[in-house]
Structure 1
Amino acid sequence: MTRAIALAALTVLELTPPEMVTCAHEAGYSHVGIRLLPATPTEPQYDIVGDTPLLREVEARLADTGIKVLDVEIFRIKPDVRAANYEAAIATAARLGASELLVAGNDPDDARQIESFAAFCELAGRYGLGAVLEFMPWTEAKNLTQAARIVERCGAKNAGVLIDPFHFSRSRSRIEDIASIPPSRLRYLQFCDVPAEIPPTMEEILHQARAERLFPGEGGVDLVGLLRAVPRDIPLSLEIPMHTLARTVGATERARRALAATKRVLAQLDA
Protein backbone atom coordinates (compact mmCIF):
# COMPACT_ATOMS: atom_id res chain seq x y z
CA MET A 1 0.00 0.00 0.00
CA THR A 2 1.32 3.44 -0.94
CA ARG A 3 0.99 5.97 1.86
CA ALA A 4 -1.02 9.07 0.95
CA ILE A 5 0.86 12.27 1.78
CA ALA A 6 -1.02 15.57 1.55
CA LEU A 7 0.12 19.17 1.49
CA ALA A 8 -1.92 20.97 4.17
CA ALA A 9 -3.22 24.45 3.42
CA LEU A 10 -1.48 26.07 6.39
CA THR A 11 1.93 25.11 5.00
CA VAL A 12 1.44 27.31 1.94
CA LEU A 13 -1.35 29.62 3.05
CA GLU A 14 -0.09 32.45 0.84
CA LEU A 15 -1.40 30.50 -2.17
CA THR A 16 -4.97 30.40 -3.43
CA PRO A 17 -6.70 26.99 -3.36
CA PRO A 18 -6.05 26.30 -7.07
CA GLU A 19 -2.41 27.30 -6.60
CA MET A 20 -2.18 24.90 -3.65
CA VAL A 21 -3.22 22.02 -5.91
CA THR A 22 -0.57 22.94 -8.46
CA CYS A 23 2.03 23.35 -5.71
CA ALA A 24 1.23 19.90 -4.30
CA HIS A 25 1.63 18.38 -7.76
CA GLU A 26 4.90 20.15 -8.52
CA ALA A 27 6.35 19.25 -5.11
CA GLY A 28 5.56 15.53 -5.46
CA TYR A 29 2.55 14.99 -3.19
CA SER A 30 -0.33 12.62 -3.88
CA HIS A 31 -2.94 14.67 -2.01
CA VAL A 32 -3.79 18.16 -0.86
CA GLY A 33 -5.79 19.67 1.98
CA ILE A 34 -8.29 22.42 1.14
CA ARG A 35 -9.31 25.10 3.62
CA LEU A 36 -12.88 25.91 2.64
CA LEU A 37 -13.58 27.83 5.85
CA PRO A 38 -10.91 30.13 7.35
CA ALA A 39 -9.46 29.28 10.75
CA THR A 40 -9.03 32.93 11.81
CA PRO A 41 -10.61 36.26 10.78
CA THR A 42 -7.26 37.51 9.44
CA GLU A 43 -6.81 34.69 6.91
CA PRO A 44 -7.67 35.05 3.23
CA GLN A 45 -11.28 34.09 2.57
CA TYR A 46 -12.35 32.63 -0.75
CA ASP A 47 -15.70 32.20 -2.46
CA ILE A 48 -15.29 28.46 -2.81
CA VAL A 49 -18.31 26.89 -1.08
CA GLY A 50 -20.94 25.86 -3.61
CA ASP A 51 -20.81 25.92 -7.40
CA THR A 52 -18.49 28.91 -7.71
CA PRO A 53 -15.93 29.78 -10.42
CA LEU A 54 -13.11 29.25 -7.90
CA LEU A 55 -14.37 25.81 -6.94
CA ARG A 56 -14.58 24.84 -10.60
CA GLU A 57 -11.00 26.04 -11.07
CA VAL A 58 -9.89 23.81 -8.18
CA GLU A 59 -11.73 20.87 -9.75
CA ALA A 60 -10.01 21.53 -13.06
CA ARG A 61 -6.56 21.62 -11.40
CA LEU A 62 -7.29 18.38 -9.57
CA ALA A 63 -8.33 16.73 -12.83
CA ASP A 64 -5.30 18.05 -14.70
CA THR A 65 -2.75 17.03 -12.06
CA GLY A 66 -4.25 13.83 -10.65
CA ILE A 67 -3.93 15.26 -7.12
CA LYS A 68 -6.62 14.02 -4.69
CA VAL A 69 -8.14 15.87 -1.73
CA LEU A 70 -7.47 14.24 1.63
CA ASP A 71 -9.19 16.63 4.01
CA VAL A 72 -11.19 19.84 4.14
CA GLU A 73 -11.15 22.31 7.00
CA ILE A 74 -12.03 23.88 9.34
CA PHE A 75 -15.34 23.08 10.97
CA ARG A 76 -15.82 24.45 14.49
CA ILE A 77 -18.22 23.03 17.06
CA LYS A 78 -19.59 26.17 18.72
CA PRO A 79 -22.50 26.84 21.12
CA ASP A 80 -24.43 28.81 18.51
CA VAL A 81 -23.64 26.73 15.41
CA ARG A 82 -25.67 23.73 14.30
CA ALA A 83 -24.42 20.96 12.04
CA ALA A 84 -26.86 22.07 9.36
CA ASN A 85 -25.04 25.40 9.13
CA TYR A 86 -22.14 23.51 7.58
CA GLU A 87 -24.03 21.43 5.04
CA ALA A 88 -23.07 23.55 2.03
CA ALA A 89 -19.37 23.26 2.93
CA ILE A 90 -19.70 19.53 3.61
CA ALA A 91 -21.38 19.04 0.23
CA THR A 92 -18.54 20.99 -1.38
CA ALA A 93 -15.98 18.77 0.34
CA ALA A 94 -17.75 15.69 -1.01
CA ARG A 95 -17.83 17.21 -4.49
CA LEU A 96 -14.05 17.68 -4.29
CA GLY A 97 -13.63 14.00 -3.42
CA ALA A 98 -12.33 14.60 0.09
CA SER A 99 -12.18 11.76 2.60
CA GLU A 100 -12.11 13.67 5.89
CA LEU A 101 -13.50 16.80 7.53
CA LEU A 102 -11.29 18.48 10.14
CA VAL A 103 -13.24 19.56 13.24
CA ALA A 104 -12.25 21.76 16.19
CA GLY A 105 -14.09 21.67 19.51
CA ASN A 106 -15.00 25.18 20.66
CA ASP A 107 -17.95 24.61 22.99
CA PRO A 108 -17.25 24.79 26.75
CA ASP A 109 -20.41 22.80 27.54
CA ASP A 110 -19.15 19.22 27.38
CA ALA A 111 -22.49 17.48 26.92
CA ARG A 112 -23.61 19.91 24.25
CA GLN A 113 -20.27 19.62 22.43
CA ILE A 114 -20.59 15.83 22.29
CA GLU A 115 -24.18 16.11 21.04
CA SER A 116 -23.20 18.67 18.40
CA PHE A 117 -20.24 16.60 17.24
CA ALA A 118 -22.48 13.54 16.92
CA ALA A 119 -24.91 15.56 14.79
CA PHE A 120 -22.01 16.79 12.64
CA CYS A 121 -20.76 13.23 12.17
CA GLU A 122 -24.23 12.09 11.16
CA LEU A 123 -24.41 14.80 8.50
CA ALA A 124 -20.87 14.08 7.29
CA GLY A 125 -21.76 10.39 7.04
CA ARG A 126 -24.60 11.15 4.65
CA TYR A 127 -21.95 12.48 2.27
CA GLY A 128 -19.59 9.55 2.83
CA LEU A 129 -17.08 11.62 4.82
CA GLY A 130 -15.20 11.07 8.05
CA ALA A 131 -15.24 13.72 10.80
CA VAL A 132 -12.00 14.00 12.74
CA LEU A 133 -11.70 15.98 15.96
CA GLU A 134 -8.34 17.74 16.26
CA PHE A 135 -7.29 18.38 19.84
CA MET A 136 -5.49 21.68 20.46
CA PRO A 137 -4.48 23.03 23.88
CA TRP A 138 -6.42 26.28 23.41
CA THR A 139 -9.71 24.58 22.45
CA GLU A 140 -12.27 22.65 24.49
CA ALA A 141 -10.70 19.40 23.30
CA LYS A 142 -7.29 20.17 24.78
CA ASN A 143 -5.43 16.88 24.59
CA LEU A 144 -5.51 13.35 23.21
CA THR A 145 -7.45 11.90 26.15
CA GLN A 146 -10.19 14.52 25.99
CA ALA A 147 -10.58 14.20 22.22
CA ALA A 148 -10.73 10.41 22.39
CA ARG A 149 -13.42 10.60 25.09
CA ILE A 150 -15.55 13.00 23.02
CA VAL A 151 -15.24 10.79 19.95
CA GLU A 152 -16.18 7.62 21.81
CA ARG A 153 -19.12 9.24 23.60
CA CYS A 154 -20.50 10.65 20.35
CA GLY A 155 -20.67 7.05 19.10
CA ALA A 156 -20.47 7.76 15.37
CA LYS A 157 -18.66 5.18 13.26
CA ASN A 158 -17.15 7.85 11.00
CA ALA A 159 -15.74 9.90 13.93
CA GLY A 160 -12.00 10.08 14.43
CA VAL A 161 -9.26 11.67 16.50
CA LEU A 162 -6.70 13.77 14.65
CA ILE A 163 -3.19 13.80 16.10
CA ASP A 164 -0.91 16.68 15.15
CA PRO A 165 2.63 16.35 16.58
CA PHE A 166 2.60 20.04 17.49
CA HIS A 167 -0.55 19.81 19.60
CA PHE A 168 0.49 16.39 20.85
CA SER A 169 3.66 17.96 22.28
CA ARG A 170 2.12 21.19 23.57
CA SER A 171 -0.78 19.39 25.29
CA ARG A 172 1.70 17.01 26.97
CA SER A 173 -0.12 14.01 25.52
CA ARG A 174 1.69 10.65 25.71
CA ILE A 175 2.48 8.10 23.04
CA GLU A 176 1.46 5.24 25.35
CA ASP A 177 -2.09 6.67 25.51
CA ILE A 178 -2.58 6.12 21.78
CA ALA A 179 -2.88 2.37 22.44
CA SER A 180 -6.28 2.92 24.08
CA ILE A 181 -7.73 4.44 20.89
CA PRO A 182 -9.29 1.99 18.41
CA PRO A 183 -7.26 2.05 15.18
CA SER A 184 -10.41 2.83 13.21
CA ARG A 185 -10.56 6.18 15.02
CA LEU A 186 -7.13 7.18 13.68
CA ARG A 187 -8.13 8.05 10.13
CA TYR A 188 -5.14 10.24 9.24
CA LEU A 189 -2.27 12.07 10.94
CA GLN A 190 -0.96 15.58 10.62
CA PHE A 191 2.83 15.83 10.50
CA CYS A 192 5.44 18.39 11.51
CA ASP A 193 8.05 18.91 14.21
CA VAL A 194 8.53 21.45 16.98
CA PRO A 195 11.25 22.39 19.48
CA ALA A 196 11.22 20.24 22.61
CA GLU A 197 10.88 23.19 24.99
CA ILE A 198 7.27 24.27 25.50
CA PRO A 199 6.80 28.07 25.57
CA PRO A 200 5.55 29.49 28.88
CA THR A 201 2.47 31.29 27.48
CA MET A 202 -0.43 30.25 25.30
CA GLU A 203 0.20 33.31 23.13
CA GLU A 204 3.66 31.99 22.26
CA ILE A 205 2.30 28.48 21.67
CA LEU A 206 -0.32 29.88 19.29
CA HIS A 207 2.33 31.84 17.42
CA GLN A 208 4.47 28.73 16.99
CA ALA A 209 1.45 26.69 15.87
CA ARG A 210 0.37 29.12 13.20
CA ALA A 211 3.68 30.50 12.02
CA GLU A 212 6.86 28.73 13.14
CA ARG A 213 6.92 24.95 13.10
CA LEU A 214 9.82 22.77 12.01
CA PHE A 215 10.32 20.21 9.27
CA PRO A 216 9.98 16.61 10.50
CA GLY A 217 13.16 15.38 12.15
CA GLU A 218 14.40 18.87 13.02
CA GLY A 219 12.67 19.23 16.39
CA GLY A 220 12.08 17.41 19.64
CA VAL A 221 9.06 15.19 18.94
CA ASP A 222 9.56 11.42 18.82
CA LEU A 223 8.02 11.16 15.37
CA VAL A 224 9.19 7.60 14.77
CA GLY A 225 7.65 6.52 18.07
CA LEU A 226 4.45 8.34 17.17
CA LEU A 227 4.27 6.63 13.78
CA ARG A 228 4.83 3.24 15.37
CA ALA A 229 1.85 3.86 17.68
CA VAL A 230 -0.66 4.55 14.88
CA PRO A 231 -1.89 2.33 12.01
CA ARG A 232 0.80 1.55 9.47
CA ASP A 233 0.52 3.54 6.24
CA ILE A 234 -1.86 6.03 7.86
CA PRO A 235 -2.25 9.03 5.52
CA LEU A 236 -0.14 12.05 6.48
CA SER A 237 -1.04 15.71 6.09
CA LEU A 238 2.07 17.91 6.27
CA GLU A 239 1.07 21.03 8.19
CA ILE A 240 4.26 23.04 8.61
CA PRO A 241 3.84 26.84 8.55
CA MET A 242 7.26 28.53 8.57
CA HIS A 243 6.75 32.27 8.13
CA THR A 244 10.38 33.22 8.69
CA LEU A 245 11.59 30.78 6.05
CA ALA A 246 8.80 31.91 3.71
CA ARG A 247 10.40 35.35 3.48
CA THR A 248 13.20 33.89 1.40
CA VAL A 249 11.93 30.49 0.16
CA GLY A 250 8.91 30.06 -2.09
CA ALA A 251 5.94 27.84 -1.41
CA THR A 252 6.84 25.02 -3.80
CA GLU A 253 10.39 24.73 -2.51
CA ARG A 254 9.17 24.70 1.11
CA ALA A 255 6.66 22.00 0.18
CA ARG A 256 9.44 19.95 -1.42
CA ARG A 257 11.63 20.30 1.67
CA ALA A 258 8.74 19.27 3.91
CA LEU A 259 8.12 16.15 1.83
CA ALA A 260 11.82 15.24 1.72
CA ALA A 261 12.12 15.62 5.50
CA THR A 262 9.03 13.46 6.00
CA LYS A 263 10.43 10.74 3.77
CA ARG A 264 13.64 10.73 5.83
CA VAL A 265 11.60 10.10 8.99
CA LEU A 266 9.60 7.38 7.24
CA ALA A 267 12.85 5.73 6.19
CA GLN A 268 13.81 5.51 9.87
CA LEU A 269 10.48 3.83 10.57
CA ASP A 270 11.02 1.25 7.84
CA ALA A 271 14.58 0.60 9.02
Structure 2
Amino acid sequence: MEQMTATGVSPKEVRQRADDAGMSILRLDPLNTWSRVWLPDNMDDAYIATVDTRQDRVFALCAELGCRSISLNATFPRGSMSIEAIIEDYAKICAASAFDLDCSLEFIPLWGGRPLAMAWQIVQGAGASNGGLVFDTRHFVRGKSDLADLRTIPGDKIHCVQLNDGPLVLPDGVTTKDDRYDRKFPGDRQFPNVEIVRILSETGGLNQVGAEVFSPMLKDMSAKHVDFARLSGRGAQDSHGNVRKDLFFTRTGSHRPLRFGDGTIHPCLWS
Protein backbone atom coordinates (compact mmCIF):
# COMPACT_ATOMS: atom_id res chain seq x y z
CA MET A 1 0.00 0.00 0.00
CA GLU A 2 2.84 2.36 0.82
CA GLN A 3 4.39 1.66 -2.57
CA MET A 4 1.08 2.48 -4.28
CA THR A 5 0.81 5.68 -2.26
CA ALA A 6 4.30 6.65 -3.42
CA THR A 7 3.13 6.38 -7.03
CA GLY A 8 0.18 8.68 -6.38
CA VAL A 9 -2.54 6.08 -5.72
CA SER A 10 -4.09 6.97 -2.37
CA PRO A 11 -5.77 4.56 0.06
CA LYS A 12 -9.02 6.43 -0.63
CA GLU A 13 -8.69 5.65 -4.34
CA VAL A 14 -7.90 1.99 -3.63
CA ARG A 15 -11.01 1.72 -1.47
CA GLN A 16 -13.11 3.40 -4.16
CA ARG A 17 -11.82 0.96 -6.79
CA ALA A 18 -12.77 -1.93 -4.52
CA ASP A 19 -16.22 -0.43 -3.90
CA ASP A 20 -16.74 0.03 -7.64
CA ALA A 21 -15.91 -3.66 -8.16
CA GLY A 22 -18.33 -4.73 -5.42
CA MET A 23 -15.48 -5.82 -3.15
CA SER A 24 -14.42 -5.12 0.42
CA ILE A 25 -10.83 -5.05 1.67
CA LEU A 26 -11.03 -7.19 4.79
CA ARG A 27 -7.43 -7.43 5.97
CA LEU A 28 -4.16 -5.48 5.94
CA ASP A 29 -1.00 -7.59 5.96
CA PRO A 30 1.53 -7.30 7.57
CA LEU A 31 2.24 -5.36 10.74
CA ASN A 32 5.70 -6.46 11.89
CA THR A 33 6.64 -3.71 14.32
CA TRP A 34 4.21 -4.65 17.10
CA SER A 35 6.78 -6.33 19.36
CA ARG A 36 9.65 -4.66 21.25
CA VAL A 37 12.09 -6.79 19.24
CA TRP A 38 10.89 -7.18 15.69
CA LEU A 39 13.86 -6.94 13.32
CA PRO A 40 14.58 -10.38 11.86
CA ASP A 41 18.22 -11.45 11.85
CA ASN A 42 18.11 -13.30 8.53
CA MET A 43 16.69 -10.79 6.03
CA ASP A 44 18.37 -8.05 4.01
CA ASP A 45 17.80 -4.30 4.14
CA ALA A 46 15.65 -4.33 1.01
CA TYR A 47 13.17 -6.66 2.70
CA ILE A 48 13.24 -4.72 5.96
CA ALA A 49 12.38 -1.51 4.10
CA THR A 50 9.13 -3.06 2.88
CA VAL A 51 7.89 -4.20 6.30
CA ASP A 52 8.95 -1.50 8.77
CA THR A 53 5.64 0.39 8.82
CA ARG A 54 4.79 1.62 12.31
CA GLN A 55 1.61 0.52 14.04
CA ASP A 56 -0.07 3.95 14.04
CA ARG A 57 0.33 4.13 10.26
CA VAL A 58 -1.09 0.64 9.85
CA PHE A 59 -4.09 1.55 12.01
CA ALA A 60 -4.66 4.68 9.90
CA LEU A 61 -4.44 2.69 6.67
CA CYS A 62 -7.00 0.22 8.00
CA ALA A 63 -9.38 3.09 8.70
CA GLU A 64 -8.88 4.54 5.21
CA LEU A 65 -9.28 1.18 3.47
CA GLY A 66 -12.15 -0.07 5.63
CA CYS A 67 -10.21 -3.09 6.87
CA ARG A 68 -11.45 -4.90 9.96
CA SER A 69 -8.39 -7.13 10.48
CA ILE A 70 -4.61 -6.89 10.52
CA SER A 71 -2.04 -9.67 10.29
CA LEU A 72 0.75 -9.46 12.86
CA ASN A 73 3.86 -11.23 11.62
CA ALA A 74 6.06 -12.64 14.38
CA THR A 75 9.41 -11.62 12.86
CA PHE A 76 11.53 -11.47 16.01
CA PRO A 77 14.55 -13.84 15.98
CA ARG A 78 14.07 -17.14 17.75
CA GLY A 79 15.08 -16.86 21.41
CA SER A 80 15.24 -13.05 21.37
CA MET A 81 12.21 -12.61 23.65
CA SER A 82 10.70 -14.55 26.52
CA ILE A 83 7.20 -15.93 26.04
CA GLU A 84 6.03 -13.54 28.79
CA ALA A 85 7.39 -10.53 26.88
CA ILE A 86 5.79 -11.69 23.64
CA ILE A 87 2.41 -12.13 25.34
CA GLU A 88 2.71 -8.68 26.93
CA ASP A 89 3.48 -7.01 23.59
CA TYR A 90 0.72 -8.89 21.80
CA ALA A 91 -1.82 -7.88 24.47
CA LYS A 92 -0.70 -4.25 24.09
CA ILE A 93 -1.21 -4.18 20.33
CA CYS A 94 -4.64 -5.77 20.69
CA ALA A 95 -5.58 -3.11 23.26
CA ALA A 96 -4.09 -0.32 21.12
CA SER A 97 -6.28 -1.27 18.18
CA ALA A 98 -8.24 1.97 18.26
CA PHE A 99 -10.42 1.01 15.30
CA ASP A 100 -11.84 -2.21 16.77
CA LEU A 101 -9.59 -4.36 14.59
CA ASP A 102 -9.04 -8.07 14.84
CA CYS A 103 -5.32 -8.56 15.56
CA SER A 104 -4.37 -11.87 13.97
CA LEU A 105 -1.00 -13.36 14.94
CA GLU A 106 0.76 -15.17 12.09
CA PHE A 107 3.28 -17.79 13.22
CA ILE A 108 6.14 -18.07 10.71
CA PRO A 109 8.89 -20.72 10.92
CA LEU A 110 11.55 -18.36 9.54
CA TRP A 111 11.50 -16.51 12.85
CA GLY A 112 10.61 -16.81 16.52
CA GLY A 113 6.84 -17.27 16.48
CA ARG A 114 6.61 -20.98 15.84
CA PRO A 115 5.04 -23.54 16.03
CA LEU A 116 1.22 -23.35 16.18
CA ALA A 117 1.21 -24.38 19.86
CA MET A 118 3.41 -21.40 20.74
CA ALA A 119 1.27 -18.97 18.74
CA TRP A 120 -1.88 -20.22 20.46
CA GLN A 121 -0.15 -19.88 23.86
CA ILE A 122 0.49 -16.22 23.03
CA VAL A 123 -3.11 -15.56 21.99
CA GLN A 124 -4.47 -17.38 25.04
CA GLY A 125 -2.07 -15.60 27.36
CA ALA A 126 -3.09 -12.17 26.07
CA GLY A 127 -6.77 -12.95 26.60
CA ALA A 128 -7.85 -10.25 24.14
CA SER A 129 -11.31 -10.51 22.62
CA ASN A 130 -9.91 -9.33 19.26
CA GLY A 131 -6.95 -11.73 19.38
CA GLY A 132 -6.61 -14.74 17.11
CA LEU A 133 -4.49 -16.46 14.49
CA VAL A 134 -3.66 -16.41 10.82
CA PHE A 135 -3.33 -20.07 9.86
CA ASP A 136 -1.05 -20.71 6.86
CA THR A 137 -0.55 -24.33 5.83
CA ARG A 138 3.06 -23.77 4.81
CA HIS A 139 3.92 -22.23 8.16
CA PHE A 140 2.10 -25.08 9.90
CA VAL A 141 4.12 -27.75 8.08
CA ARG A 142 7.51 -26.01 8.08
CA GLY A 143 7.12 -25.20 11.78
CA LYS A 144 6.54 -28.92 12.49
CA SER A 145 3.18 -28.20 14.10
CA ASP A 146 0.73 -30.88 15.19
CA LEU A 147 -2.80 -31.49 13.91
CA ALA A 148 -3.79 -32.41 17.47
CA ASP A 149 -3.00 -28.83 18.55
CA LEU A 150 -5.17 -27.44 15.76
CA ARG A 151 -8.14 -29.45 17.03
CA THR A 152 -7.94 -27.71 20.43
CA ILE A 153 -8.27 -24.16 19.09
CA PRO A 154 -11.78 -22.65 18.98
CA GLY A 155 -12.82 -21.87 15.43
CA ASP A 156 -13.57 -18.22 16.12
CA LYS A 157 -9.91 -17.76 17.06
CA ILE A 158 -8.79 -18.77 13.56
CA HIS A 159 -9.28 -15.40 11.89
CA CYS A 160 -7.85 -16.27 8.48
CA VAL A 161 -6.85 -19.45 6.60
CA GLN A 162 -4.17 -19.38 3.88
CA LEU A 163 -3.85 -22.54 1.79
CA ASN A 164 -0.86 -23.61 -0.30
CA ASP A 165 1.23 -26.72 -0.81
CA GLY A 166 4.72 -28.16 -1.00
CA PRO A 167 6.79 -31.20 -0.09
CA LEU A 168 6.56 -32.42 3.49
CA VAL A 169 10.36 -32.61 3.68
CA LEU A 170 12.58 -30.10 1.90
CA PRO A 171 15.28 -31.46 -0.42
CA ASP A 172 18.82 -31.65 0.93
CA GLY A 173 20.45 -28.24 0.95
CA VAL A 174 17.16 -26.29 0.68
CA THR A 175 16.35 -24.16 3.73
CA THR A 176 13.00 -22.81 4.89
CA LYS A 177 14.15 -19.38 3.74
CA ASP A 178 15.07 -20.74 0.29
CA ASP A 179 11.64 -22.35 0.05
CA ARG A 180 9.53 -19.38 1.13
CA TYR A 181 8.57 -18.26 -2.40
CA ASP A 182 8.20 -21.71 -3.95
CA ARG A 183 4.63 -22.47 -2.94
CA LYS A 184 2.33 -24.71 -4.94
CA PHE A 185 -1.43 -24.72 -5.40
CA PRO A 186 -3.32 -26.58 -2.65
CA GLY A 187 -3.30 -30.30 -3.39
CA ASP A 188 -0.36 -30.24 -5.82
CA ARG A 189 2.12 -31.65 -3.31
CA GLN A 190 2.09 -33.31 0.13
CA PHE A 191 0.80 -30.84 2.73
CA PRO A 192 -2.13 -32.26 4.74
CA ASN A 193 -4.55 -29.65 3.36
CA VAL A 194 -7.53 -32.00 3.27
CA GLU A 195 -7.05 -33.03 6.90
CA ILE A 196 -6.51 -29.41 7.96
CA VAL A 197 -9.66 -28.20 6.20
CA ARG A 198 -11.72 -31.02 7.70
CA ILE A 199 -10.56 -30.11 11.21
CA LEU A 200 -11.25 -26.42 10.63
CA SER A 201 -14.68 -27.26 9.25
CA GLU A 202 -15.47 -29.20 12.43
CA THR A 203 -14.25 -26.41 14.74
CA GLY A 204 -15.76 -23.51 12.77
CA GLY A 205 -12.32 -22.21 11.80
CA LEU A 206 -12.84 -21.82 8.04
CA ASN A 207 -12.79 -18.02 8.14
CA GLN A 208 -11.44 -15.65 5.48
CA VAL A 209 -10.25 -18.65 3.46
CA GLY A 210 -8.06 -18.20 0.41
CA ALA A 211 -4.83 -19.37 -1.14
CA GLU A 212 -1.51 -17.66 -0.53
CA VAL A 213 0.70 -18.95 -3.30
CA PHE A 214 3.91 -16.95 -3.66
CA SER A 215 5.63 -18.65 -6.57
CA PRO A 216 7.66 -17.93 -9.72
CA MET A 217 5.12 -19.99 -11.68
CA LEU A 218 2.53 -17.22 -11.31
CA LYS A 219 4.37 -14.95 -13.72
CA ASP A 220 3.49 -17.35 -16.54
CA MET A 221 -0.24 -17.46 -15.72
CA SER A 222 -2.60 -15.53 -17.96
CA ALA A 223 -5.10 -13.02 -16.63
CA LYS A 224 -7.84 -15.39 -17.79
CA HIS A 225 -6.36 -18.18 -15.67
CA VAL A 226 -6.19 -15.91 -12.64
CA ASP A 227 -9.77 -14.73 -13.18
CA PHE A 228 -10.95 -18.34 -13.44
CA ALA A 229 -9.31 -19.09 -10.11
CA ARG A 230 -11.04 -16.08 -8.58
CA LEU A 231 -14.49 -16.88 -9.96
CA SER A 232 -14.46 -20.64 -9.47
CA GLY A 233 -14.56 -20.45 -5.70
CA ARG A 234 -17.61 -18.22 -5.36
CA GLY A 235 -20.04 -21.10 -5.12
CA ALA A 236 -18.04 -22.52 -2.24
CA GLN A 237 -18.32 -19.43 -0.05
CA ASP A 238 -21.18 -17.80 1.80
CA SER A 239 -22.07 -14.11 1.72
CA HIS A 240 -19.35 -13.37 4.30
CA GLY A 241 -16.56 -14.99 2.29
CA ASN A 242 -16.35 -18.06 4.52
CA VAL A 243 -16.29 -21.61 3.17
CA ARG A 244 -19.69 -23.27 3.28
CA LYS A 245 -19.68 -25.98 5.92
CA ASP A 246 -21.97 -28.26 3.89
CA LEU A 247 -19.12 -28.89 1.44
CA PHE A 248 -16.22 -31.26 1.78
CA PHE A 249 -12.87 -31.68 0.06
CA THR A 250 -11.40 -34.47 -2.04
CA ARG A 251 -7.99 -34.74 -3.63
CA THR A 252 -7.64 -34.88 -7.39
CA GLY A 253 -4.61 -34.92 -9.62
CA SER A 254 -5.55 -31.80 -11.56
CA HIS A 255 -3.92 -28.37 -11.45
CA ARG A 256 -6.87 -27.22 -9.30
CA PRO A 257 -6.86 -30.22 -6.96
CA LEU A 258 -8.90 -29.14 -3.94
CA ARG A 259 -12.42 -29.82 -5.15
CA PHE A 260 -15.58 -29.41 -3.11
CA GLY A 261 -18.23 -32.08 -2.78
CA ASP A 262 -20.60 -30.28 -5.13
CA GLY A 263 -17.96 -30.00 -7.86
CA THR A 264 -16.91 -26.39 -7.36
CA ILE A 265 -13.20 -25.74 -7.13
CA HIS A 266 -11.47 -23.82 -4.37
CA PRO A 267 -9.96 -20.51 -5.52
CA CYS A 268 -6.18 -20.67 -5.66
CA LEU A 269 -5.40 -16.96 -5.53
CA TRP A 270 -6.55 -14.11 -3.37
CA SER A 271 -9.36 -12.33 -5.23
TM above 0.5, yes or no, is yes
C-alpha offsets along residues 118-137 of structure 1, whole Å, 9 cap, x if unaligned?
A: 1111122x312101111111
Alignment deviations for residues 55-103 of structure 1 (CA, whole Å, 9 cap, x no partner): 122012111101111210111134257xx94122112213322221100
Q: CA deviation at 1:54?
A: 2.3
Is 1:79 aligned to 2:36, yes or no? yes
Q: Confirm whether residue 265 of structure 1 aligns to residue 268 of structure 2.
A: no
Q: Is residue 117 of structure 1 aligned with residue 117 of structure 2?
A: no
The yes-or-no answer on 1:63 pairing with 2:33 is no
If each structure's helix is expressed as a fraction of its own residues, which one has the higher value? Answer: 1
| Equivalent-residue separation in structure 2 for 1:247 and 1:168 (angstroms) | 26
Q: 1:157 to 1:54 in 2, by over 3 A?
A: same
Say yes or no: does 1:223 pair with 2:223. no
Q: Which has the higher contact order (CA 8 A, sep 6+)?
A: 1
Match of 1:100 in 2: 69
CA deviation profile, 1:179-237 (whole Å, cap 9, x unmatched): 22122211121111112223456x6322322x211111111112121112122642213
Q: 1:251, CA displacement in angstroms?
A: 5.6
Report how many residues are paired: 220
2:107 matched residue in structure 1? 135
1:132 partner amino acid:
S
Instruction: Give me the TM-score of the superposition, normalised by structure 1.
Output: 0.71
Contact map agreement 2:87 2:126 (CA 8 A) in 1? yes
Tell me which residue corresponds to 2:147: 175
Q: Aligned pair in 2 of structure 1 residues 150, 121: CA closer, same or farther (>3 Å)?
A: same
> Does structure 1 residue 47 correspond to structure 2 residue 16?
no
CA contact (8 A) 1:216 1:258 kept: no
Tell me which of 208, 211, 217 is aligned to 1:238: 211
Query: Structure 1: where are the runs of 5+ without partners?
Result: 1-35, 38-44
Percent of pairs with identical residues: 22
Task: In structure 2, list runs of 5 or more residues that go unmatched.
Answer: 39-52, 237-256, 265-271
Amino acid at match of 2:192: D
Q: Which residue of 1 aligns with 2:178?
A: 207
Whole-angstrom CA distance in 1 between matches of 2:161 and 2:262: 15
Taking structure 2 as the reference length, the TM-score comes to: 0.71
RMSD over equivalenced CA pairs, Å:
2.9
